[in-house]
Amino acid sequence: MTGTNELVLAKRDLEKKGFLDIEVDPSLDLEAEIERLKKEKNAIILAHYYQESEIQDIADYIGDSLGLSQKAASTDADIIVFAGVHFMAETAKMLSPDKKVLLPDLKAGCSLADACPPHLFKKFKEQHPDAVVVSYINCTAELKTLTDICCTSTNSVDIINSIPRDKEIIFAPDKNLGAYLQEKTGRDLILWNGSCMVHEVFSNEKITKLQMQHPEAKLIAHPECEAHILDKADYIGSTSGLLKYTKDSESDTFIVATEVGILHQMELGSPEKTFIPAPPNNQCACNECPHMKRNTMEKLYLCMKYENPEVNLPEWVIEKGVKSIEKMLEISEKAGLGLKD
């Protein structure tokens, strides 16, 4: 079953149960209720940096895709509540299949995962039968079953470098991260043509104007951005890499080319510094990920109370797909990447 079919079926199931109509009493202290449910159910809340700040504040762990998967693999909680998007919750389920994995809104998808339907990718892969398949973790669980090694933006260079130089490599689904990796590693990658809807809308022109207004500012960018933005950047890295750079840097102003949710931790980590979100090329709030922002405190509370929506996967998908994630975690550990605590 593809991730999308699974989402549709799960949503229908929730509609039947009337779950989607439940309203939360506005006088409820959601923070206190969520804390109570965490203890009562031995649940852990894992949140990505792109979540609303109030969700980040109540999370037990906030991190990038690598840190979140490492935490999901090592937790002794009975329930993992994933404040992130669907592929992240699926990854947690694959790594901890005996645990209950909850996602506050099942429709929190990802444009990158959607850009690579497994049935089409299978045909693409057949054209390069000897190639090693490296997939960005932002893909469906089913795509992971067609993958040799997963990667995240934190470990992608190490993953590519771990593959013998005489091997062909297919890289999916992000063509921007793929192009960046070609430049960083000097490897010729066979790229799938996908991209992130948030990271491809930054305006070169508006960033240049901002740089003229703030000549002291460092431009920092996520590698999912297009090449013309990365070419101008002073630093390129994953969300945790960008956060660390702002803490360690002597500069006090940063133009941040990634989803705006990360600014919350940047401001908490360096309250004396100034962070300017890189503007999108139109008037919309396109530098906010609409999928990540589907999660709200109300939905977080409801999913913990009713232990629903739950993310489940067919056994064969878990068995086959988890190997690509385990391989990634093994290489990351050898490279000393990820969780420090």
Q: Are 6 and 113 in contact (CB under 8 A)?
A: no
**Region class of 154: left (phi > 0), else alpha (psi between -120 and 50), else beta:** alpha
Q: Which residue in the set 6, 30, 55, 64 belongs to the binding site for ligand 13P (CB under 6 A)?
A: 64
Q: Spell out, one character per residue from 100 to 129, where the chain touches ligand SF4: x when CB under 6 A holds, - when not.
A: ----------xxx-----------------
Size of residue set near ligand SF4 by CB under 6 A: 12
Q: Are 147 and 134 a contacting pair, CB within 8 Å? A: yes
Binding mask 154-183 for ligand 13P (x = CB under 6 A): x-----------------------------
When binding is defined by CB under 6 A, the residue of 14, 73, 197, 276 that contacts ligand SF4 is 197
Residue 259 interacts with ligand SF4 (CB under 6 A): yes or no: yes
Do the Cβ atoms of 111 and 136 come closer than 8 Å?
no
- Tell me the C-alpha distance between 325 and 219, whole Å: 31
Other CB atoms within a 10 A radius of the CB of residue 334 amount to 10
Task: Select from 13-21, 33-41, 147-155, 270-278 the region that touches ligand 13P (CB under 6 A).
Answer: 147-155
What is the distance between the alpha carbons of residues 107 and 103, in angstroms, rounded to a whole number?
9
CB neighbours of 176 closer than 8 A, spacing ≥ 6?
Answer: 195, 196, 199, 200, 223, 224, 225, 226, 227, 230
By CB under 6 A, which span of 10-18, 35-43, 146-154, 158-166 interacts with ligand 13P?
Answer: 146-154
What is the spatial distance between Cα 64 and Cα 91, in angstroms, rounded to a whole number? 13
Binding at 153: pick from ligand 13P, ligand SF4, none (beta carbon under 5-8 Å per type): ligand 13P
Q: Which stretch binds ligand 13P (CB under 6 A): 52-60, 152-160, 210-218, 305-313?
A: 152-160
Least separation in angstroms between residue 267's CB and ligand 13P is: 17
**Which spans of this chain sit near ligand 13P (rule: CB under 6 A)?**
49, 64-65, 138, 152-154, 224, 238-239
